[in-house]
Chains A and B, each alone.
Chain A
Amino acid sequence: KQEVTQIPAALSVPEGENLVLNCSFTDSAIYNLQWFRQDPGKGLTSLLLIQSSQREQTSGRLNASLDKSSGRSTLYIAASQPGDSATYLCAVNRGYGQNFVFGPGTRLSVLP
């Protein structure tokens, strides 16, 4: 059974810092891994999708890497801003029409 963990559970940093969020999964048989952002009481916003054949994806100040063999992904946020404050969730996908298995999330607070 696939299990996904995220470290740290919560993180508070001053504005401008670079930071790394970690995601680990137990079963490397995945199609892709997706990082989401969720603001309190809101839906999920997709940030980055990494296919199992890819090593990393970049979007603006965000960079996500994937090491499928070790069951790890990291989300790097450069020059953090207060607007980045949210919960960040990673999820692994076994394929079309399959369940996403979500990690518990990292609650990020970026202080002005």
Chain B
Amino acid sequence: DTEVTQTPKHLVMGMTNKKSLKCEQHMGHRAMYWYKQKAKKPPELMFVYSYEKLSINESVPSRFSPECPNSSLLNLHLHALQPEDSALYLCASSQDRSDSYEQYFGPGTRLTVT
């Protein structure tokens, strides 16, 4: 199984809502990533978890709150978002193997903030 799954596929939320994005992988990968991608732009890193601990936070606003409950699951909790936060949110994972470090991406969640 070389798949990263993300739910939901699409999400529309108001600026006062609280919602969560979910990412799951069963490849035994110990690093998991959240990226944000705006239209016609490359993905930009938000967070990295390594062995369930937050290792990189790219100065992301606190209205985005990541969580890694276990080695297979990664969540992104959303609260009080702004319309400019509308984007495609991508999750990725990679294994701790020095001969690889290949990143596998999920299909993304298309988020619209109204």
Chain A residues with CB under 8 Å of chain B are 31-32, 34, 36, 41-46, 49, 51, 89, 91, 93, 95-100, 102-105
User: Complex Cα distance A46/B4, Å?
Assistant: 12
Please give, as numbers and ranges, the residues of chain B lying within 8 Å of A104 by CB-CB distance: 41-42
B43, B55, B99, B108 pick with most chain A CB within 10 angstroms: B43
CB neighbours (8 Å) of B95 from chain A are: 96
Across the interface, A42 reaches (CB within 8 A) one of B56, B99, B107, namely: B107
Q: How far is the CB of A89 from chain B (nearest CB, A)?
A: 6
Neighbouring A residues of B106 by C-beta, 8 Å? 43
Q: Closest Cβ of chain B: how far from A30's Cβ, in Å?
A: 10
Q: In the complex, A45→B103 CA distance in Å? A: 10
Shortest distance from the beta carbon of B72 to any chain A beta carbon, whole Å: 16
Q: Mind listing 20 A-B residue pairs with CB under 8 Å?
A: A32-B100, A34-B103, A42-B108, A43-B107, A44-B43, A46-B102, A49-B100, A93-B101, A95-B101, A97-B31, A97-B50, A97-B56, A98-B56, A98-B101, A99-B45, A99-B48, A100-B33, A102-B42, A103-B42, A104-B41
